[in-house]
Structure 1
Amino acid sequence: MLKNKIIQSLCVLFPIYALTGCMVGPIYQTPKMTMPTQFKALAGWKVAEPKDTEARGAWWEVYQDPILNQLEQQVQISNQNVAQYVAKYQQAAALVSSSRSGLFPTVTATPSVTRAEKASSSSSSDRVSNSYTASIGASWELDLWGKLRRQVDENKASAVASQADLANATLSAQSTLAQSYFALRILDQRIDLYDYTISIYEKYCRILAEKYKEGIIAKSDLTQAEQSLYSAQASKQDLSWQRAQYEHAIAVLIGKAPATFDLAKQVHLKLYVPEVPHTVPSELLERRPDIAASERRVAAANEAIGIAIAGYFPSLSLSSSMGSSSSHFSQLFSASTAIWSLGASASQTLFDFGANKAKVVSSRAAYDETVASYKQTVLDAMQAVEDSLVKSSSLKLQLQAQQKALQASTESARIYRNQYDEGLIDYANVATTEATRLTSQQSILQTQSTQLQNSVALIVALGGGWHTAQ
């Protein structure tokens, strides 16, 4: 019976809420931007709207490297920066559930037992009395102006933004790992090239040292060869510590201590630079999680304006309780001992000396800030794609020129070695052409490293690949 009366009371309250509830504050609309129809650097690249919920897939598989695939799979599981964003998203999701509960009544049960003694009574049995009470109550703050609903929507938008932050942090860690991995693999090849060059220089030094002892050549030829040898050894050491740092960075990215991680050298590994297609679907840029996060923060800021505006209006709370009170427990739930109450309370701020007005102004300014941040994020994304596209085209031409330069320097080195062996020139000319050839080989490897890292940057700029299947 008690439960039925409470339900009847709540049924009275719900129609009141339905009839009086409204929303104050601005209706949210996605900020508009005037955007070009395509990227300047490559025809067919279209600009569209955010669609970050689409799957990005294992974009790193385009590089056809099994070791890279294994490392990338560990980022989402073990990377501690990603783990922080997972926890932040879980907090934001919990806030949504918490704020949503405010839309519904709060029901409480209050049983109590008291024992009292009357000092004026002559009989000890009359002096002691018991009181038993059991009640169920409900309280409900009516969302007349949409304050609570806007709070839920604000927390929802913040949760989605937090989810996009998680996706962005994951994508960033994955791309950093890929770029570090490629830099390390190119360093393996560059170090191997120095090892080969050093062995050649050591052979030259031994031959020239014998010739100098025999008085066939001048000492300057020997010292020139030794200078080339020591310079190559120093350059190799410079690359060795760089490789170690990249290896340490990869260890941290997959959640391991550098001391426990080792990536074996692979000097003959063929690194594949994916070819950028001439045309791509327009929805690729839409998948960027940073754009989605920024747009959702605009939505959250818009809801905050409505919450602040609702502070100008009165708040209404309804309460209802039903229970029973008796001095005898056996009579506690009889009809004669039943008690009930139904009430309403309203509150309205009359004077706050501009405090709520300041909140509204602050909320509107915060909204304008998020709009500007969103637009800047989109512009930055456009610039990142344009930069990577231009760089990709330029690096391709640069590599072709460097390969021609290597062919020329290799032929020059061959000619000068033959002339030196015939006694036509001194060793300085040979050393110069050998150094030029080595520099050309190192430059080609460095350009290939830049190509690989730029391709990763382009993939990230597009939100995770240039194919819809990714």
Structure 2
Amino acid sequence: MLASCAVGPNFSSPPAPDVAGYTPEKLQSPGSDAAGPRVTRQRFVNGADIPTMWWAAFRSTPLNELIRLTVEHNPSLQAAEASIRMANYNALAQRGLFFPQVGANFTPSDQLVSNAQSGPGNTAQERYSLYTAQLNISFVPDVWGENIRNVESLDALTEQAKFQLEAAYLALTANVVTAAIQEASLRGQIAATERIIKIERDILGILKSQFNAGQAAQVDVLAQEAALAQSEQTLPPLQKQLAVQRDLLTALAGQFSADEILQKFDLDRFKLPANLPVSLPSTLVAQRPDVRAAEANMHSASALVGVAIAARLPSFTISANPGSIAFQTAQLFTPGTLFYTVAGSATQTLFDGFTLYHKQKAAEAALDQANAQYRQAVITAFQNVADALRSLQADARAVQAAIKAENAAKASLDIVQKQLVLGQVNQVNVLNAQQVYLNAAITRVQAVATRLSDTAALFLALGGGWPTNCPTSDWRGCVFETSVASKT
């Protein structure tokens, strides 16, 4: 009854930004040139929900298996789970201060009294035992709501830890998808490089045959050997990057590098999602875990302002010390041995060099800081979505141009090879055609991989699809079971 009020501001969630979209103009789905090579089309679906297992949209069984393995074994997620338990137990511990604090004390003692204490001429020493059993009871009524605000702050930190788990889960799954796409890109670049190396070796064989027949100069053979060596030189760095990428995926899966994952990835095994959900701005704010974590941090800072205000007001303490003292344990709690003390106190700081005042101002400044960090988190979220949308709008045309360039370069190289057999082309044209085709083939692989990665970036920017009713104790099973149920 004494805890009748709680000083300080009462927190309310900030309203959603008053914006209708992510770009100044009306959102247009990615387009491509109708006259160019055919590429997979994508379209934005405004207001659609994000699937929980959003990576399943790439229709890659190895990717699905690897993400499940990663979610089950990655230590960063286990650390995030532990932080939730820690924050929750701290909040529960703070709730204990709503109740009286009771302690028990039992003190047996044996005393020998000096004869000097018995007076002159008395040489007898007195020895006796004393047994004291006592309860220590104290209670601090939460008159100004200081403990209420402390519990509110710790509950908000628990909520923040839950959103940080969601953010870690989302970032981890996105990192796995991006790393798998990068592995597939490296395999594609290696395949393209090996393909051009084979072509250059065939051309070198033709030139050597012509040189032996006196139809080609030695300088042409040497130039072709140099071009072949340069192409072969680009292969080891790509193979090194692929090995490093495999180590990254193995580490993300929570395994040691010696226990390499079994899943391998090629670009042909990924399917580009055709329909891309784009959440409404109000849904984005409620769905992005980093934004929700920033809101929970602001809630905690708001409650701490109330704690600082309450610390400047009078505090009240009620204490009681009932117990019993006897010379023998059997006499404890018999009539005449009982005692008690009941006391109440009120304390008010009169002068502390403005310490508590400045602590309150610091708490208010921390709330202003948390508010600004929340607004920055919202702005960053909108920027991430806008960047992903812009990238996807350009990616379709980039892939189309890369395919067109590769086809033209390959056709040119085929013609040059035929002319070389007939002795109708010089070596400069051969070298140029080889280099152009190599660059075009690599660029095409990179463009396809970039489009896949930007699609994953859109799902990441929109906050994934975390189910709202997942219990913290079994969120893994909930995430995957919810996904299967939604697909069914």
Q: Scaled by the length of structure 2, what TM-score is found?
A: 0.84
Whether the 8 Å contact between 1:23 and 1:146 is mirrored in structure 2 is: yes
Residue number in structure 1 paired with 2:185: 186
Q: What is the aligned-residue identity percentage?
A: 27
Whether the 8 Å contact between 1:322 and 1:340 is mirrored in structure 2 is: yes
User: 1:342-366 CA deviation, whole Å, 9 max, x = no partner?
Assistant: 2111111100111111111111111
Q: How does 1:203-242 map to 2 (within 5 A)?
A: 203-242=202-241
Residue number in structure 2 paired with 1:167: 166
Whether the 8 Å contact between 1:285 and 1:461 is mirrored in structure 2 is: no
Q: In 1, distance between residues paired with 2:286 and 2:387? A: 18
Moved more, 274-283 or 130-139: 274-283
Moved more, 132-141 or 369-378: 132-141
Q: Which runs of 5+ in 2 are unaligned?
A: 29-43, 469-481, 484-488
Q: In 2, distance between residues paired with 1:354 and 1:340? A: 39
User: 1:340-395 CA deviation, whole Å, 9 max, x = no partner?
Assistant: 22211111110011111111111111110110000000110000001001101110
Residue number in structure 2 paired with 1:457: 457
Match for residue 27 of structure 2 among 42, 59, 68: 42
Whether the 8 Å contact between 2:146 and 2:306 is mirrored in structure 1 is: yes
Residue number in structure 1 paired with 2:141: 142
User: 1:214-260 CA deviation, whole Å, 9 max, x = no partner?
Assistant: 21112343233223311211121221111122112112222223243
Q: In 1, distance between residues paired with 2:331 and 2:410? A: 109
Q: In 2, distance between residues paired with 1:321 and 1:272? A: 74
* Change over 3 Å in CA distance of 1:118–1:268 after alignment to 2: closer
- Deviation of the 1:154 alpha carbon: 0.6
Residue number in structure 2 paired with 1:76: 71
Residue number in structure 2 paired with 1:24: 7
Whether the 8 Å contact between 1:118 and 1:128 is mirrored in structure 2 is: yes
1:353 and 2:348 aligned: no
AA aligned opposite 1:414: D
Q: In 1, distance between residues paired with 2:173 and 2:264? A: 21
Residue number in structure 2 paired with 1:431: 431
* Change over 3 Å in CA distance of 1:349–1:318 after alignment to 2: same
Whether the 8 Å contact between 1:38 and 1:47 is mirrored in structure 2 is: no
- Deviation of the 1:413 alpha carbon: 2.4
Q: In 2, distance between residues paired with 1:376 and 1:341? A: 56
- Deviation of the 1:308 alpha carbon: 0.7
Q: How many aligned positions are there?
A: 447
Whether the 8 Å contact between 2:66 and 2:263 is mirrored in structure 1 is: no
AA aligned opposite 1:31: P
- Deviation of the 1:188 alpha carbon: 1.0
Residue number in structure 2 paired with 1:397: 397
Residue number in structure 2 paired with 1:64: 59
What's the secondary structure of 2:103's corresponding residue? Answer: strand
Moved more, 128-137 or 312-321: 128-137
Whether the 8 Å contact between 1:38 and 1:45 is mirrored in structure 2 is: no
- Deviation of the 1:396 alpha carbon: 0.9
Q: In 1, distance between residues paired with 2:51 and 2:318? A: 49
- Deviation of the 1:32 alpha carbon: 4.1
Whether the 8 Å contact between 1:175 and 1:457 is mirrored in structure 2 is: yes
Q: In 1, distance between residues paired with 2:3 and 2:256? A: 60
* Change over 3 Å in CA distance of 1:47–1:303 after alignment to 2: farther
- Deviation of the 1:285 alpha carbon: 5.2
- Deviation of the 1:465 alpha carbon: 5.0
AA aligned opposite 2:373: S
User: 1:1-28 CA deviation, whole Å, 9 max, x = no partner?
Assistant: xxxxxxxxxxxxxxxxx14532111111
- Deviation of the 1:70 alpha carbon: 2.3
- Deviation of the 1:280 alpha carbon: 4.8
- Deviation of the 1:265 alpha carbon: 5.7
AA aligned opposite 1:108: G
Moved more, 419-428 or 96-105: 419-428
Moved more, 303-312 or 84-93: 84-93
- Deviation of the 1:336 alpha carbon: 3.2
- Deviation of the 1:266 alpha carbon: 5.7
Q: Which runs of 5+ in 1 are unaligned?
A: 1-17, 49-53
Q: In 2, distance between residues paired with 1:30 and 1:333? A: 56
AA aligned opposite 1:321: N
Whether the 8 Å contact between 2:206 and 2:421 is mirrored in structure 1 is: no
Q: In 1, distance between residues paired with 2:346 and 2:258? A: 65
* Change over 3 Å in CA distance of 1:454–1:268 after alignment to 2: closer
What's the secondary structure of 2:105's corresponding residue? Answer: strand
* Change over 3 Å in CA distance of 1:337–1:184 after alignment to 2: same
AA aligned opposite 1:346: A
Whether the 8 Å contact between 2:2 and 2:143 is mirrored in structure 1 is: no
- Deviation of the 1:31 alpha carbon: 3.2
* Change over 3 Å in CA distance of 1:264–1:81 after alignment to 2: closer
User: 1:143-162 CA deviation, whole Å, 9 max, x = no partner?
Assistant: 11111111111111112112
Q: How does 1:151-300 map to 2 (within 5 A)?
A: 151-261=150-260, 269-277=268-276, 280=279, 283-284=283-284, 286-300=286-300
Whether the 8 Å contact between 1:71 and 1:254 is mirrored in structure 2 is: yes
AA aligned opposite 1:412: S
Q: In 1, distance between residues paired with 2:352 and 2:70? A: 52
Whether the 8 Å contact between 2:47 and 2:279 is mirrored in structure 1 is: no
AA aligned opposite 1:28: F
Q: How does 1:76-115 map to 2 (within 5 A)?
A: 76-115=71-110
* Change over 3 Å in CA distance of 1:66–1:37 after alignment to 2: same
Q: How does 1:334-349 map to 2 (within 5 A)?
A: 334-349=334-349
* Change over 3 Å in CA distance of 1:46–1:273 after alignment to 2: closer
Q: In 1, distance between residues paired with 2:438 and 2:262? A: 26
* Change over 3 Å in CA distance of 1:152–1:45 after alignment to 2: farther
